[in-house]
Amino acid sequence: MSNEYIIMVFGDMEAQYILGLSYYRGEGVEAVYWLEQAANQGDADAQYYLGVSYANGEGVVKNYKQAVYWYEKAANQGHADAQNNLGVCYEFGKGVVQNYQTAYFWYLLASANGIEKAKDNMDRIAQDLSPSQQIEIQNRATRWFGHNNGR
């Protein structure tokens, strides 16, 4: 009995993610299948890599709306890279309507979660937001962290 069969039958989310990631580093089509299995069970890393796959057209047709869908699922679980990538999507209108306030929000969360480039991204668009908008977004981020227990 193959490892893939065992994973498929028993639906082990972490094993599906690991298998998907190993395929991601080699062969995209298989990666997407296994990443999607784990992502649908709530694995934030799998959701992030599935978003990357859709954003880059790796193993799937490039589709920014799908990338945003998966980034958002991972970002709402506190995945910092997904938060930053979601900010990029909102800043440049990739798969969503361009929105600097929403981009700033996701960059702020990613920056607070240790993504250095998110701080640079946030600083870049801060000039397009008023001080009151920035404070409102910072308050929203504080509420988000309180609701999500700091993730």
Tell me which CATH code domain 1-77 carries. Answer: 1.25.40.10
Across 91-110, average pLDDT: 96
Q: How far apart are CA 17 and CA 49, in angstroms?
A: 9
Of the chain, the percentage scoring pLDDT greater than 70 comes to 79
Q: Which amino acid is at 120?
A: D
Cβ distance 95 to 65 under 8 Å? yes
Please, which pLDDT band fits residue 34 given cuts at 50, 70 and 90? confident
Please, which pLDDT band fits residue 33 given cuts at 50, 70 and 90? confident
For residue 71, give the nearest of 61, 81, 63 by alpha carbon: 81
For residue 94, give the nearest of 104, 85, 105 by alpha carbon: 85
State the helix-helix crossing angle for 3-10 and 28-39, rounded to 10 degrees: 30
The better pLDDT of the pair 96, 21 is held by 96
Statement: residue 133 has pLDDT above 90? yes
Domain residue ranges of the chain, discontinuous segments joined by + = 1-77, 80-151
Residue in the block written with tokens 């980034």: 71
30-45 burial by CB neighbour count: b if 16+ within 10 A, else e?
bbbbbbbbbbeeebbb
